[in-house]
Amino acid sequence: MTRIDLDIERLVLRGVPAELAEGIGSLVAERLSELATADRRGDEPPRWAAASRRVRPVTDREGLAAQVARDTWATARDRIREGVSR
């Protein structure tokens, strides 16, 4: 298993209101850790990780952190799988 450490205090979220983005890095890191743990154990992802069936605006920090973590995890997972298949 490979450990990847992230420093996301410098995360830039364009178009996101400052009150939602302020200090979001630690929440995103927590959510990414939850996804990685579930994946490593072979468990189902947490409920919050399920993509919404409807596109709706994010109105709270928890929702924003979940969305950023979900998108980041999906992108990283896809890139890792592409690298393994080469």
Q: Which residue has the tokens 């890095």?
A: 25
Could you tell me which of 72, 60, 1 has the C-alpha nearest to residue 30? 72
In this prediction the pTM is 0.70
What are 23-72's pLDDT values in tens digits?
788 888 888 889 889 888 999 989 888 877 777 777 888 888 888 888 88
| Residues 46/52/53/57 CA torsion (nearest 10 deg) | 170
Any idea what the Cα angle at residue 69 is, between residues 77 and 14, rounded to 5°?
115
